[in-house]
Structure 1
Amino acid sequence: MVELEIRAATPADAEDVLTFWKESAKGTSVSDDVNGVTRLVERDPEALILAVADGRIVGSVIAGWDGWRASLYRLAVLPSHRRRGVSTVLLRAAEERFAALGGRRVDAMVLEENETGRLVWTAAGYERQDQWRRWVKPLTD
């Protein structure tokens, strides 16, 4: 495994996080801008967990906790660093965060067409729940 620093993102990381997601993450979000990332980090400073190697972001996961639900988003690893244990370390950090906060179960958002992502989540012990579907309504245009 590559030598990793696991740390929470800061507002100063916002542009680097966005650049990393463009290269490494599947799909997009309405909050994929500097303001969106900054708001996340300012609201919950421990939510956006980064894996950094040689000063470069090589992995991320958003570990969102609302006091009721533990939710994971944006698990991504730089293509050149995949299959080196980066996602395992990030998920362990997120799960430890949730356990310390009193979480009982973790939900993960995974794009249906993300075959690689589904394999990663399955290998990490997560199971698909077919009885649930996500319903969304944008608040802005």
Structure 2
Amino acid sequence: MTETDIRPARPAEIPDLLAFWGHAAEGKSVTDDEDGLAQLLARDPEALIVAEQDGRLVGTVIAGWDGWRCHLYRLAVHPDHRRQGVATALLDAAEARFRALGGRRGDAMVLDRNTLGASAWQAAGYAPDAAWTRWTKPLPTAAG
């Protein structure tokens, strides 16, 4: 099996990350654009964790820490590399980051229709929390 290297994403990789998510991730977020990722990496350069094999991007997870809670987004593994431990390695790195920052619980954003993703999260020990519902409101941009 090929060794998986886990490290923070670099700003120069933003176009590659967006292309990767277009192929490997489920759904698209309002912040899935160059400006959104640039802002994330400028604010928290260690939040976006990538997995590489032989210099090729094979997985990602965003491990966001707001100083109070630990949030997980964009767990994605290239279809050719699934079921090989990539997601586990990414989540191990994210959870280690959270513990080092003082985090106590991770929460994951998972699309309801993403049954493959739900299986991966469940295998990693995560479960839906029926006591909570996510409420959202799109914010107007400076241009709009």
Structure-2-length-normalised TM-score: 0.95
SS at match of 2:75: strand
Partner residue, 2:130: 130
Moved more, 100-109 or 29-38: 29-38
After TM superposition, list the pairs within 5 Å mapping 1:42-61 onto structure 2.
42-61=42-61
Secondary structure of 2:26's aligned partner: coil
For residues 72-111 of structure 1, what are the structure 2 equivalents within 5 Å? 72-111=72-111
Provide Cα deviations, 1:71-126, integer angstroms capped at 9, x if missing partner: 00000000000000000000000000000000001100100010011111111011
1:44: Cα distance to partner? 0.1
Runs of 4+ off more than 3 Å: none
Shift of residue 2 of structure 1?
2.9
| Alignment-derived partner of residue 6 in structure 1 | 6
Supply the RMSD in Å over aligned alpha carbons.
0.9
Task: Tell me whether 1:23 sits opposite 2:17 in the alignment.
Answer: no
Identity value in percent: 60
Q: Does the aligned pair in 1 maintain the 2:2–2:54 contact within 8 Å?
A: no
Post-superposition shift, 1:30?
Answer: 0.9
State the 1:56 CA deviation: 1.4
How many residue pairs get matched?
141
In 1: Cα distance, 2:2 partner to 2:29 partner: 29
Aligned to 2:98, the other structure's residue is in SS state helix
1:136: how far off? 0.5
Which segments of 5 or more consecutive residues in structure 2 lack a partner in the other structure? none
Unaligned stretches of 5+ residues in structure 1: none
CA contact (8 A) 1:2 1:84 kept: no
Q: Tell me, what secondary structure is at the counterpart of 1:110?
A: coil
CA shift, 1:55, in A, is: 1.6
Q: TM-score, normalised by structure 1?
A: 0.97
Q: Distance in 2 between matches of 1:28 and 1:35?
A: 15
